Amino acid sequence: MATKKSAAAAPAKKNKPKMREVPPNPPSKPSKDILVFPNPNPERDYVIQFQVPEFTCHCPLTGQPDFAHFTIDMIADELCVELKSLKMYFWSYRNEGSFHEKVTNKILDDIVKVTDPRFIRITAKWYVRGGIYTNVVVEHRKAGWTPAPRVDLPTHGFESGMLGA
């Protein structure tokens, strides 16, 4: 019986979990720099849409976090926005306090400054705060640019190929 007790008392060998080491230079970090590249089709108006569903900043009055879903619709002229820099740019607001209206307009101004697009519209849908949802829509149109007339095509119902469906 003493043998059983001593075996039970011996500490069981456990495999220590392997921890990931923190890299000396993180692969990415927040930045206010928005990088660009040449528009591959500057002869054509086409819409580039960015969806940023995880925007975070905080209220300048209470310090409470604010969350928003940004949609950016842009018709580029000579320059397009490089996506990773846009991601790092949006990340840079995480620890800043700003009113919804101010930060939405600032983002528009910063993108216009580096790309000079033909058209850009930013829609910021702010999550509920105090029982109120806030949507802020801002836009810029390049002087002298006129969009092509809208073409409305007929819509058709979904066809499944199955009778009675």
Between CA 95 and CA 12 the distance in angstroms is 45
Q: Which residue among 45, 57, 66, 109 is the active-site one?
A: 66
Q: Is the Cβ–Cβ distance between 46 and 75 less than 8 Å?
A: yes
Q: How far apart are CA 67 and CA 128, in angstroms?
A: 9
* Cα distance between residue 3 and residue 11, in whole Å: 15
What is the rounded CA–CA span in Å between residue 71 and residue 162?
37
Token pair of 97 as six digits: 């306090």
- Answer yes or no: 66 catalytic: yes
Annotated binding site: 81-83, 100-101
| Axis crossing angle, helix 100-115 with helix 83-91, rounded to the nearest 10 | 150
Residues in the chain: 165
* Two tokens, residue 77: 């002229």
Q: Which residues sit in the known binding site for substrate?
A: 81-83, 100-101
Q: Which residues contact 54 (CB under 8 A, 6 or more apart)?
A: 67
Catalytic residue chosen out of the listed positions 45, 57, 59, 109: 59
Which residues are marked as active site? 59, 66
